[in-house]
Every structure is written in structure tokens, then in C-alpha cells.
Amino acid sequence: MAKTTLMAELEQLVSEARNPNTLQIDLMSSGEIVAAMNAEDAKVAEAVRQVLPQVAATVDCIVEAFKAGGRLIYMGAGTSGRLGVLDASECPPTFGVPEGMVVGLIAGGDRALRHPIEGAEDSREEGRNDLQRVNVSARDVVVGIAVSGRTPYVIGGLDYAKSVGAVTAGLSCNPDSAIANMADIAISPLVGPEALTGSTRLKSGTAQKLVLNMLTTASMVRIGKSYENLMVDLSVSNEKLAARATRILIEVADCTAEEADAFLVASKNNVKLAILMALTGLNAADGEVALREADGFLRRAAAQHQPRAAG
């Protein structure tokens, strides 16, 4: 793309505009700079609130994909790609899901997580190739993430995803963007110009992170990964998570730490199963059957097996 054409495109983007509230940022004290940034950040939650219907619609599609054996696939470049990879990588320990259930793709590959890969985001073909490498199918949901809404890597990926029948969503911070217009669902929180012009890792990145948090967390809750507001499918893979699992047992079943640990041992550190055993008196084998019959929903399984009253 000619430099003059690209410059003209960038001039039209809200995310590239100059913020009138921070024109004097280079003359500000440290306290004034962080206060100005904080004032800008305060606008982000409201911008995200405006797009909650679109976020919820995407969650519904992700839930249906998971039920059908499909995946959630994020793809982006730079900060947007890193945020997608971060959200995907946190799902297995948080929700106990297989690593391939939520996939994060970034232009330039894993090296781009720490190092800029020049020109990686400029190739539509690479977006298509990356989705082909993970065998995207009609069962999947593909979320393209690009603040500008015009990143070629994301556009190429979304175009290919649509061609194979996958549901697509475009997460951008500019109105009427290219990815918003091509995706099945457009999620476009409009946070306005950044405190530092064009530094979209600021408000735009925060808005993207909030939306990604919602997409995975809400989808996981909808498929039974929580009990009340507790994480009950977490992977007990380190000391902190082991302590959290014990605390959850104590909280839900009103038992002692020793009793909680005994249930965890009996369930082989399956927190959801341990809770069901503590609440109902079922043994591990019967508890596993009960959870399968309840489609993995702990509250439903407990209700069907006469739970003991908890304090």
C-alpha cells in the first residue's frame, strides 16, 4: 500500500487522533501525567458497556461452538495479538479445559509475543495460513482483534474463516471498520483518542482486554465451569491453586481444611467432583456419573442428589 494512501487511512481513525486533553503531556509532572491517563482510562468501561449486546451475542456463539466440539480462536497482531494469546493461555489453568479449546494466534508467530516482527501484520495470506495450520472449521468461532479494524493479517484470517463457515467476530476500537463490516458480529468499543497519540496499548488495549475477559469467562460459566461465582474446574497445578481449591471446599461445603483436603485426595484433585462429594455424600465414581448426567453443572448435579445443607 502506498505511504500516502496509508497516511490518509490513518487520519480517519479515531484511535490515531490527537487527544485535546493531553496536548501538554510533555510539560506535565509525573502526578499530572498519571492523573490525565487515569481520567482517560475512566472512559473505557462505559465504552465497553455500549457494546455489551454484541459481546453477549458472541458469547452465545462460543457456547454453541464449545457444545459442538468447536473452538474459540483469537487472531491479531502486536498488542491485540498478545492480548488474545494471553486470554487463551489462561483458560486451561483457570477452567480446566484442554489447551486447544481456546487458541490464540499472533501475526509473526510466538516470537512476536516478545519481539516485533516487521511486516507480519501486513500479510492477508499469513492470516489465512495460520488458520489453515490450526484446521479452522465451521464448528469454530474466530475473533479478529485489531484496534484499527484494518490490519491485513486479521482481514485475511476473517475472510478465510467465513469461507469455511466459521462464525466470525471483529473486535476493533474504530467505528465502521473493515473487520466490523466483514465479521458476523462487530464489537467496537469507542474509547476515543489515546493519551499518547496512536499508543493503542493504552485505552484501546484495556477495552480489548475487558471484552476478551468477558468472552471467555462468560462462555465458561455458561458451560458449567463455575459454582455460584467460584471457579470449580481450576487445575490444581501449583501451591497457590491447591490452597485456593481447599478454600473453595471449605467455603461451599462448610467443612474443615482437613476434610477438604481429604475430599480433594479422594477426587484426585478434581475440585468440582470433590465439592459434589462433600455436598451429597456420593463417592467419586458415583459423583462422576452425576456430573456427566448434569452436563458438568455442579449446581444441577448437587440438586439432583439431595445435597446436605451447608452452613
Catalytically active residues are 90, 121
For the beta carbon of residue 69, count every other beta carbon within 10 angstroms: 10
**DSSP secondary structure, 279-294, as one string:** HH---HHHHHHHHHHT
Question: Hey, what's the cell of 310?
Answer: 451447608
Residue pair 80/145 in contact by the 8 Å Cβ criterion: yes
Residue pair 104/79 in contact by the 8 Å Cβ criterion: no
Question: Hey, what's the cell of 290?
Answer: 452425576
Under 8 Å CB-to-CB from 303, ≥6 apart: which residues? none
3-state helix, strand, coil in the chain (%, to 5): 55, 10, 35
Packing angle between helix 239-253 and helix 271-280, nearest 10 degrees? 20
Block residue for cell numbers 462448610: 254
- The tally of CA atoms less than 13 A away on the side-chain side of residue 47 is 26
Block residue for cell numbers 463455575: 226
Beta bridge partners of 187: 171
